[in-house]
Structures are given as structure tokens and as C-alpha cells.
Amino acid sequence: MKNKTSLTISWVIQIVAIAILGSAAFFKFTGAQEVITLFTELDMEPTGRILIGSIELIACLLMLHNSSALYGAILGLGTMGGAIAGHFTQIGWEGDRAALGVQAILAFCLCALILYIRRKDIPMIGATIH
């Protein structure tokens, strides 16, 4: 990525995505009751909660560095895609769970924007993308 404006926009988007993914990971690691209840209903407690929180944390750490931000966005995109699918199939959209679903959609969109902005950095195919 050579355009300074694009880089600045990407960093602003990355910071917001990191805030969303980081707070989600924090609540998973600290064992917030709502998160434990949700993962218990999904039959993924505690292993799934810790694993997904770890993936979210890794995505955040990757997005903190310019050379790995693309990979963090890809990881965040996949993780939030799974969360969105979970909301539509099992978790639902009632009460506080709707807020979690909206956060997942927002993080998914932000990661997609990062990927779009940094598309030319994708190994092997980035140079062919316009």
C-alpha cells in the first residue's frame, strides 16, 4: 500500500476493529456470565470460549502491525463470519444478544474494509488486483 490517505484510513478502521474484537476477547477471557451462558448453550464452554477469544486476540495483535494487518483482518473476518452465522442459526437476536450480533456485523464489515484497502498487499494475487 503506497497511498498515505489509504494507510491512514486503514489504521483508523483497524483501531475500531481492534477495540471491538479486543473487548469481545476480554469478556471471553474474564468469564463474563453472559458469555459463559451463551457458550454453554452452544455446547462450547469453556474450550470454545477460550479458543475463540484467543483467535480474536491474535487478530487484534496482527492488526497492530502494518505488515500483518491484512492477516489480522482475514482472521477477524472469518471469526466474525462465524459469530454472525451463529446468531442467525442458534444464538438469536433477542435482548443483549442483538447488540452482540450487531457488533459482530460491524467488526466483519470493518475487517472487510481493511482487506479491501490492503488488497494489493495480498501475496501472489495482490499485484494483479486493481
pTM: 0.92
Among the residue ranges 4-18, 75-89, 115-129, the one predicted with the least confidence is: 115-129
pLDDT digit string, tens, across residues 57-100: 999 999 999 999 999 999 999 999 999 999 999 999 998 899 99
Q: How far apart are CA 114 and CA 129, in angstroms?
A: 15
Q: How far apart are CA 124 and CA 102, in angstroms?
A: 34
Q: Please determine, for residue 128, whether its predicted confidence score (pLDDT) is greater than 80.
A: no
Placement of cell 435482548 in the chain: 95
Mean of the per-residue pLDDT values for the chain?
Answer: 93
pLDDT digit string, tens, across residues 20-29: 999 999 999 9
Q: How far apart are CA 88 and CA 19, in angstroms?
A: 24
Helix, strand, coil percentages for the chain (3-state, nearest 5): 80, 0, 20
